[in-house]
Structure 1
Amino acid sequence: MKIIVLNVLFVLTSATACTQEKKDPAPGGSLQNRFVNNVPFLTKQNDFVYVDKASLKPVTNQKFKSASVYTSTGFAVVENEKNEYAVIGGGGKTVLKFSASPISLNVVNGLTFYKKDIEYEKKMPAWKWEWNILGGDIKKEQTYHNIEIGVLETNQILLHKDIPYLEDNYYLNFVSVDDHHVFWNGSLYEIKKGHLTKTEYNIVELLEDRRFIKSSNATFSMFSLDQKKAIHTGLKGTETLSIRFGNENILLKEVNKERYDPEVPKLLIDRKTDDVYPFPQYEKIFPKHIAQATPSQIDFIKKTSLVYSITHSPYFLLGVFNYDHDVWAFDWLYIDTKGNVTESIGQYDFKVLDQLGNLVWPDRKMILPDQFINKSWKFGKINSYMGMDDLYIIPIEDENQLRTKGLWNRSTNTWEIKPEYHEISVLDPEKQIYALQKEKDGLYTLYDHKNKKNIGSKAYQSINSEGGVSVKQNSGENLYYYIDIYSGKEYKE
């Protein structure tokens, strides 16, 4: 599912599209996969021990205050009684020693990236003291955090830095470019024997098909891993678009206008050729002439404020915002690379979001047509996850202001799950495992939508995609442990 983000100030009929990252296969084969079958098991003493998922027999004699499930590469984060964190590998072997720094993991291209991050108070020189004139206090320290990011398999440290808490941060948002390259923090890395070498710098946008954009002095260049020479150079951002229809030159102004300047403009123009490449992939040239269009379509085009390229298709998306309070959403036309204008196109696995994460295209009427709704309904943010195909979670508010959610199938125009639930959480979009909450502040139950059946007989305060659940005890405190979200099996005494 291709999800594209834009900045739009006014959207009412809206949705939020989210993605869940697939875990990479472990590079260690069966040896690593053997440890993936180990799960954290909660004992009566409120300790976690790792057990075999099938037999529930302990695999080591180690006990932890908290423990995570193993990654696909065979690593887990554990916490001891001193509130210190470590990473263990197969058989409980310590890979990163215990320290006060919380640790997070992410698997990309079969490598396990880790992040250690801890806050601390740093003494500052006198010229950086903060003076409180009214109270007379002097703050001589500032909050910093120490960040370390690296690769567990090779012990390679990619970054180790102390930074002011509010000024900057670094994340484990590594992106796979191909089997031998990853993108992170504005740079491209080549992987050789598990070791990362930086090969490209100052990348401002990663594109499909191993392409990327670099910037220099307010100009942009497009590159590909397949060739050393740039595909395009000297590209400039623009909010103006010119297109001819017969003898008339139609000039569109403030196209894709942003509230704040984006790092890469939504329209890039080659000043040598006047070719315009629209966001998101900048992969094709917007037509300079309209081949055919009706008078009403020309009037629409003259008001166009949004132009996007629909990837993996010959089409561009043309949007005009309708300020009628009964509509308050975009109206659409489409134009192909040859300049042919059309009112509709086939379904494409492509989504456009505004800067708040609200779905702009396809809009609610494309997903849930008017003939299938109650006229008194109002709609909230529609959720769609990678792997859900044409299934959408749609929030509804009825005439009594009761808010519920249902699961709608766009292909069949039917409710897969009727809008009778306060919350529908997606745990595994491909296997269609959901957590259903019937009422506000109620408990969650597991549901296997593919097989149309409930999973297990228990209900929980919360359930996450890794099987972490919480239940409220008689004392009022929450108890946390793990379950198998596919069978409902609980990993606790």
Structure 2
Amino acid sequence: MKTIVCSILFMLTSVTACTQEKKGDSPLVTSKMKTINSIPFLTKQNDFVYVDKTSLKPVTGQKFRSASVFTPTGFAVVGNGKDEYATIDENGKIVLDFSTSSIDLNVINGLTFYKKEIEYEKKMPAWKWEWNILGSGIKKEQTYHKIEIGVLETKQILLDEEIPYLEDNYYLSFVSVDENHVFWNGNLYEIKNSRLKKIEQNIAELLENKRFLKASNAGFSMYELNQKKAIHNGLKGIETFSIQFDKETIILKDVNKERYEPEVPKLLADPETNDVYPFPQYEKVFPKEITKATDSQIDFIKKTSLVYSITNSPYFLIGVFNYDHDIWAYDWLYIDTKGNITDSIDSYHFKVLDQVGNLIWPDRKMILPNQFIDKNWKFGKINSYEGMNDLYLIRIEDEKGLRTMGLWNSSKKIWEIKPEYHNISVLDTEKQIYTLQKDDKGLYTLYDNKNKKSIGSKAYQSINSDGLVSTVINSGQTKYFYIDIYSGKEYKEN
């Protein structure tokens, strides 16, 4: 199940990319997954009890003030009336004791990673007091948060720190490299007996095909998992390089230039060979010579501001930003590893996103050609998430200023969901489960796009991908409970 994680603001700097999803890769080791039949059920007393999904019979006698669904590994976070939280297993046994720390869980490679966090005020030494120049007092405390991250199955603690609230944070952003290795917080770990052993550290970037980049004063080195010898050594970040065409040397300047210096530059070059490896996977060398191009294509290339490698293909993107504010986008050409320039290429499930997750390539005209649009339409942000392939959420403004969203299929050239909604959100990309909001401040309903039908008959203030919904009751209070997002079944007492 994939959920929306991208922002909706447009920025021109720090462009990033999302490669196509590779079949066979999975963040979970399925042999360790369980069939979960329990679900939190809201009683008339506003307590949660865990019940069997089918029979709705309680599976334990425990009651909680809050409760989450179980992870695929069989754990859930529960809360009591004292604003304390704990983690339980399927039998109701407490595996992380109740405390005032919040708890988050994430499952990767069949292991359950947890994060406990609490915010508090810490007394500071006199030299760190904050003096108010207006004379209203002295602040002798500073806000901190205590964070613990570990493996739930073995109680292995990976991190235990107290950090100034505004200075740093840690997340459960574990990434599966293969079934025996995970990447987290700049480190590569090997999994043995459900415990993590650090085998590499100071990793600047994790790449596809079990490769990674390490940074040092000498530059960047590329390694492959279980290989001690570097694939490339001493790679340097660049923004200027040259390419040859006939007898002319074309100097490309300010390519992939960033407003703020990135941890890993978007172009890495080998000083000895002058080979240039472009972002996002740095997996192939940009051609040193153009073998075939028209005069207009050469003029375009001289203005290049962005170069990306389209992974799992022989092509590179060449982008020039169009400063016409009515267009506000990039224009594109493509070059293959042999130096051939072309105006278009075959379809690849490769997407270029800006820093906050808005789609830059393929651009709107590639996705939604002009012959399929109303001439008075203006376009806003376009989003597409991992697993959506040819489906795109497109924002439109008509001649009256009304803003709506629709779901467009770029291969079939049809609106899967017509642009008649204020908001559309993705709950499950694989099964194509969406939420629809007809009007601003309106309620959300469930929609099954594969089968082209509404799910259930109820509408809610909010709907999460795990089935947690909210609704406002007669007293004006907000009530939270769970539903099955695939059937609309509600898990609460009427």
TM-score by length of 2: 0.94
* Within-5 A mapping of 1:80-479: 80-217=80-217, 219-479=219-479
Contact map agreement 1:281 1:311 (CA 8 A) in 2: yes
Q: Is the 8 A contact 1:74 1:90 kept in 2?
A: yes
Q: Structure 1 residues 175, 23: CA separation in 2 closer, same or farther (over 3 Å shift)?
A: closer
Does structure 2 conserve the Cα–Cα contact (< 8 Å) formed by 1:24 and 1:72? no
Q: Provide the secondary structure at the position in 1 that maps to 2:486.
A: coil
Name the CA shift for 1:237/1:209 in 2 (closer, same or farther; >3 Å). Answer: same
Amino acid at match of 1:324: D
State the partner residue of 1:488. Answer: 488
Code of the aligned partner of 1:350: F
In the TM superposition, residue 356 of structure 1 has moved relative to its aligned partner by: 3.1
Q: Deviations over 1:13-58 (max 9, x none)?
A: xx99999x977356545xx42xx21000000000000000011000
User: Residues 428-474 of structure 1, C-alpha deviation per residue, up to 9 Å, x if partnerless?
Assistant: 11111111111111111111111111111111111111111111111
Separation in structure 1 between the aligned mates of residue 230 and residue 277 of structure 2, nearest angstrom? 15
Q: Are the counterparts in 2 of residues 27 and 73 from structure 1 also a CA contact under 8 Å?
A: no
Q: Would you say the 8 A contact 2:123–2:140 is kept in 1? A: yes
Q: Distance in 2 between matches of 1:322 and 1:121?
A: 49
- Percent identity, aligned pairs only? 72
Counterpart in the other structure of 2:66: 66
The code of the aligned residue for 2:230 comes to A
Cα deviation, 1:362-388, whole Å, max 9, x if unaligned, reads 001111011111111111111212222
Q: Secondary structure at the match of 2:366?
A: helix
Q: Deviation at 1:133? A: 3.0
Gaps of 5+ in 1: none
Work out the CA distance in 2 between the residues paired with 1:218 and 1:417: 52
Distance 2:10 2:465 in 1: 31
Distance 1:468 1:439 in 2: 21
Give the whole-Å Cα distance in 2 for the aligned partners of 1:123 and 1:115: 25
Give, in whole Å, the separation in 2 of the partners of 1:286 and 1:28: 42
Aligned partner letter, 2:454: N
Stretch deviating more after TM superposition (165-174 or 352-361): 352-361
How far, CA to CA, are the matches of 1:225 and 1:10 in structure 2?
A: 34
Instruction: State the secondary structure of the residue aligned to 1:150.
Output: strand
| 1:469 match: secondary structure | strand
- Aligned counterparts of 2:44 and 2:377: Cα–Cα separation in 1: 49
Structure 2 spans left out of the alignment, 5+ residues: none
Question: 1:93-151 deviations in whole A, cap 9, x for unaligned?
Answer: 10000000000000000000000000011111122111223225111111111000000
**Cα separation, partners in 2 of 1:84 and 1:45, compared to 1, 3 Å:** same
Match of 1:75 in 2: 75
Taking only aligned residues, the RMSD between alpha carbons, in angstroms, comes to: 2.2
Residues in 1 aligned to 2:491 and 2:379: alpha-carbon distance in whole angstroms? 39
Equivalent-residue separation in structure 2 for 1:286 and 1:211 (angstroms): 19
Distance 1:62 1:4, change over 3 A: closer
Q: Contact (CA 8 Å) 2:6, 2:358: kept in 1 or not?
A: no
- Are 1:251 and 1:302, in contact at CA under 8 Å, matched by a contact in 2? yes
**Alpha carbons 2:243, 2:290 under 8 Å: kept:** yes
> Which residue in the other structure is 1:24 paired with?
28
> Counterparts of 1:326 and 1:106 in 2: how far apart (Å)?
43
SS state at 2:401 partner: coil
CA–CA distance in structure 2, aligned partners of residues 22 and 222 of structure 1: 24
Distance in 2 (alpha carbons) for counterparts of 1:4 and 1:120:
30
Distance 2:272 2:387 in 1: 42
Q: Across the two proteins, how many residue pairs are aligned to each other?
A: 483
The verdict on how the C-alpha distance between 1:18 and 1:243 changes in structure 2, with shifts beyond 3 A counting, is: closer
Distance 1:8 1:79 in 2: 38
In the alignment, the residues of structure 2 paired with residue 206 and residue 398 of structure 1 have an alpha-carbon distance, to the nearest angstrom, of 42
- Cα deviation for residue 323 of structure 1 reads 1.7
Question: Which piece of structure 1 moves more, 70-79 or 324-333?
Answer: 324-333
C-alpha distance 485-4 of structure 1, shift in aligned 2 (>3 A)? closer
Structure 1 residues 243 and 463, CA gap change in structure 2 (3 angstroms) = same
Q: Normalising by structure 1, what TM-score? A: 0.94
Q: Deviations over 1:387-438 (max 9, x none)?
A: 2221111111101111111111100111111111111111111111111111
* Higher mean C-alpha displacement, 341-350 vs 122-131: 122-131
Q: After alignment, is 148-157 or 132-141 more displaced?
A: 132-141
